[in-house]
Amino acid sequence: MTRVDRRQLRFNQALLVLGTAASLVLRRPEPVWLLTLLFLLSFTRWDPLRVLKRSLKIPPDPVEEDPRPHRFARALGTLFLSFASLAFATGLTWLGYLLALAVGLLAAINLTFRFCLGCFLYYQFRLLRHRLGLS
């Protein structure tokens, strides 16, 4: 098993909550576009979210944990943010806000109650694959 930086996860969630809230309060799509870009780039070698956390001098909190559920959750959040950005770009503003709000609320739930819907879905898919004999 590899290490997961818990503070990085919490930092990412806080950024999602703040960014989606800013977009809703300001009634502007730019914060969602910026979040989408940051989270898309987080899947590359140059992860701006880690660079941002380090530049703010937030110390790491590594724990022995499987990173796959967290990567899956981040991918789902990024997918929803990408759809929100696309909705904003095509004039479906209400849909953009709805999708961004879903991501922000799920990040807030994770920050507050430590329940990650994306991680839960990851484990449910793994369980289903096991039951179907696909694992």
The mean per-residue pLDDT over the stretch 71-98 comes to: 98
Q: In this structure, what are the phi and psi dihedrals at residue 92, rounded to the nearest 5 degrees?
A: -90, 65
| Cα 84 to Cα 7, 36, 45, 103, distances in angstroms | 26, 9, 25, 10
Task: Render pLDDT for 75-87 as a digit per residue (tens, 0 to 9).
Answer: 999 999 999 999 9
Q: Report which DSSP code applies to 44.
A: S
pLDDT for res 110: 98
Contact criterion met (CB below 8 Å) for 85 and 103: no
Is the pLDDT reported for residue 14 higher than 80?
A: yes
Domain that holds residue 37: 3-131
Tell me the helix, strand and coil percentages in the chain, rounded to 5: 75, 5, 20
74 falls in which pLDDT band (50, 70, 90)? Answer: very high
| DSSP label of 1 | -
Q: How many domains does the chain have?
A: 1
